[in-house]
Amino acid sequence: ALICADEYIDTSDNTCWEQGIFPLPYPLRVHEGEIVIVKWTLKGTRFDMVVENSLNLNEESPNRELITRGERDYRTMNNDMLLYAITRLLPSVSRYSWNLDISLSDEEASVVRNLPHFLIDPKDIEGALVGEMDEANSDLCIIVWPIRADGSVSEVFLNSLRTLRCGNDVPPSLKYCGFLTDRLSAHGVLVSSSRLSKLTRVQPSSFCGADLSPIQMYNLLEYRDIDISTFEHHVCSNDFAFLHLGEEDTELMSKKIEVRCTNPGLIEGVLYWWQFGNYSTRQDRGAFFIFKEPIAANAGTVVS
């Protein structure tokens, strides 16, 4: 993509610019014919941009940076529906960009890691999330969204969260680190998908007379980063909830649920997503849990 003069950036697949939109700290209202100043710098993997109204050059704005991450969480940054759902709970979130140029303490960094996070006024925390905030000691609070851009939840985050719940003393810095985890529940449906099978299982058509049984164990058990609206699959059951992060211990969990099939098919696994109030990640990205072996089922078959 041509930026200006003869300066280009790579917007091909698998780059952060494929669908990326750089977030401004607040909307800038402009009129037809008005001139704005766009300043940008690119150094290594760090890109910074500032848009200024030529009439308000002295107005201060927060320092920001767009962080390129393995999870490609720019999808989360550009997710208007998620922002709307969170700002209904915490109104002052809308005044900040998703990623701000801030320093995290060691305790905070160990919890936040590469998860999407954003800042809000501490007054919004009280009553909305567990814990009291001392406004005298902090101007801003870090709020963590624990779902990665590929539709999965971070195991590192769950381990850190469990440690915090079990501890008697919460580090002072984490008093200002809030989590939306307690309102999150996982939902899923049984699915049949020949495409999913080809992407995750050793296929008999590729044997070519060779014994490939030694690599059968390497079939994938999870497949992430699914655009549910375009990924070829057939839903074979009604929605069911199977995990509530705010109520259940994720360290050692063994549950058995029974799901009745509503359509016949070769069940490859469970397509799952996350619910947060009225917001669902199903409209964004999903992920699959894949059974070790597909299950042939008819309408009315009960799968455990």
- For the segment(s) 184-303, the CATH number from 3.40.190.10, 2.70.160.11, 2.40.420.20, 3.40.50.20 is 2.70.160.11
What are 227-264's pLDDT values in tens digits? 888 888 999 999 999 888 777 666 656 778 899 999 99
- 244-253, 266-275, 284-293: range with lowest mean pLDDT: 244-253
Residue 213 token pair: 């049984």
Indicate the Cα dihedral angle 62, 68, 73, 76, nearest 10°.
Answer: 30
Nearest to 21 by CA among 43, 51, 53: 51
Q: What is the pLDDT of residue 39?
A: 80
Alpha carbon distance 177, 142 (integer Å): 5
Q: What is the pLDDT of residue 270?
A: 94
What are 156-186's pLDDT values in tens digits? 777 777 777 777 666 666 666 777 777 888 8
Q: What is the pLDDT of residue 101?
A: 45
Residue ranges covered by each domain of the chain:
2-179, 184-303
| Contact residues for 275 (Cβ-Cβ < 8 A; gap 6+) | 184, 185, 186, 187, 241, 281
